């Protein structure tokens, strides 16, 4: 049975690097199952880089995407990916907590959490413990550059 692949591609429409990095990651995960794509507020032009099939789903709301991710998989494996690209460690703690709880729910349900191709633009010391907590529950972690 195919997996449920929750893929986060939100990024900057005018940043070619975001879409190139995410597209390569997307193509590698495509064969594993149905795609549940979080595109955020990105334009249709940006999202066209991630072709969806009839059974795939596009989400513009992070909350709805995370709620779908937390639903029982009914015998299917859930794969949750973190967004490739750059982050500014400035998201509200409430948002971080919701992401952590969703990732933990995926892991406790027997799913897989992947954090690949990510870069931290600003190394804010106060965020390091939170980021380490998130990464500790991911099975696969890779960074896009040595500085991150």
What backbone torsions phi and psi does residue 42 show, to the nearest 5 degrees?
A: -65, 155
Per the structure block, which two tokens stand in for 146?
Answer: 């040595």
Res 70: pLDDT: 94
CA torsion angle 59 90 95 117 (round to 10): 50
Burial, 48: exposed, middle or buried (Cβ in 10 Å; 0-12, 13-18, 19+)?
exposed
Res 81: pLDDT: 92
Res 6: pLDDT: 97
Partnered with residue 115 across adjacent β-strands are: 141
- CA angle centred on 136, ends 57 and 95, rounded to 5°: 50
Task: Say whether 82 sits in a helix, a strand or coil.
Answer: coil
Q: What is the distance between the alpha carbons of residues 20 and 49, in angstroms, rounded to a whole number? A: 9
- CA angle centred on 96, ends 90 and 102, rounded to 5°: 155
Q: Which residues of the chain have pLDDT under 70?
A: 16-18, 85-94, 121-126, 147-148
Res 103: pLDDT: 93
Res 88: pLDDT: 63
pLDDT digits (tens, 9 = 90+) for 4-28: 999 998 877 777 666 777 888 899 9
Q: For strand 57-59 and strand 85-88, is the pairing parallel, antiparallel, or unpaired?
A: unpaired
């Amino acid at each position: 049975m195919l997996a449920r692949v929750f893929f986060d591609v939100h990024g900057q429409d005018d940043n070619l690097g975001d879409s190139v990095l995410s597209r390569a990651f997307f193509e590698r995960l495509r064969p594993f199952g149905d795609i549940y794509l979080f595109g955020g507020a990105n334009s249709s032009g940006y999202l066209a880089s991630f072709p969806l099939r009839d059974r795939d789903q596009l989400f513009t709301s992070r909350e709805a995407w995370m709620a779908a991710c937390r639903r029982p998989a009914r015998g299917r494996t859930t794969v949750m990916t973190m967004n490739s690209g750059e982050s500014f460690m400035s998201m509200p703690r409430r948002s971080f907590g919701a992401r952590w709880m969703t990732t933990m729910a995926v892991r406790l349900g027997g799913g897989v959490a992947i954090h690949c191709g990510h870069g931290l633009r600003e190394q804010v010391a106060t965020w390091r413990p939170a980021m380490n907590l998130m990464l500790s529950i991911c099975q696969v972690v890779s960074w896009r550059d040595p500085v991150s």
